[in-house]
Chains A and B, each alone.
Chain A
């Protein structure tokens, strides 16, 4: 058994695909029509054969209250690893991305939290370089 997929619940798949590719820099890997929606995955250009992120529609009635409650408390349900949180913060903020937490040392890692515009907060993290 291997972990090859993980999901993020998005309020609009087209908007999410734009954000996750154009802004964050991931690449579309799959886009399979599935009735009202599609099965869309993106991958990191640094790991095209790595874990795929599924842009999952948040249409279930329980999904949005769950997401809103997490956002209200500033909780990122999903986290990505980056080489340099400070550099990513600078790049993404310049692209208009809203951060609820700027780069901050949290023990062995530096973290920052941003809004993915699709109803989620996302944490980026990198090891602290001493």
Chain B
């Protein structure tokens, strides 16, 4: 699976997109906080284990990084993998030199 496959796979799930929405509000969230946000703000009732597995997929795609700080683990959003998508396809008009 190349990088683009991992990225599109990661984005092709509503719970994973909701996790990215939650992380776009604030970096440094614990698994507990993300689960609470999924249940309250997004109306999703996935188990903690399911949320953790979704985070694994997002981490593989480079969209989420896990940061260990002492005994805690925090999750941060990384939007860098999205940038190549914006550059990959342009409408033909945009390519025509003026």
Across the interface, A72 reaches (CB within 8 A) one of B37, B39, B71, namely: B71
Q: Is the CB of A72 within 8 A of B32?
A: no
Name which of A13-21, A23-31, A105-113 contacts chain B: A105-113
> How many B residues face the partner with a CB closer than 8 A?
16
Q: A106-B37, A106-B40, A107-B40 are in contact. Are A75 and B71 (CB under 8 A)?
A: no
Q: Is the CB of A113 within 8 A of B32?
A: yes
Residues of A within 8 A of B (CB): 68, 71-76, 100-102, 104-107, 111, 113, 121
Q: Is the CB of B33 within 8 A of A72?
A: no
Residues of B within 8 A of A (CB): 26, 29-33, 36-37, 39-41, 48, 71-74
Residue of B nearest to A108 (CB): B40
Q: Is the CB of B40 within 8 A of A74?
A: no
A100 to B73, CA, bound (A): 9
A100 to B32, CA, bound (A): 10
A-B contacts at CB below 8 angstroms, number: 49
Residue of A nearest to B31 (CB): A73
Q: Is the CB of A68 within 8 A of B71?
A: yes
Q: Which of B30, B40, B41 has the most CB of A within 10 A?
A: B30
A68 to B68, CA, bound (A): 13
Q: A101-B29, A101-B30 are in contact. Are A74 and B72 (CB under 8 A)?
A: yes
User: 10 pairs across A/B with beta carbons < 8 Å?
Assistant: A73-B31, A73-B73, A100-B72, A101-B33, A104-B36, A104-B37, A105-B40, A106-B36, A107-B40, A113-B33
Residue of A nearest to B71 (CB): A71
Q: Is the CB of B29 within 8 A of A72?
A: no
Q: Is the CB of B36 within 8 A of A111?
A: yes
Q: Is the CB of B72 within 8 A of A72?
A: yes
Further contacts, 20 of them, CB under 8 A, given A71-B72, A75-B30: A71-B71, A72-B72, A73-B31, A74-B29, A74-B30, A74-B31, A74-B32, A74-B33, A74-B72, A100-B72, A101-B30, A104-B26, A104-B37, A105-B41, A106-B36, A106-B40, A106-B41, A107-B40, A111-B36, A113-B32
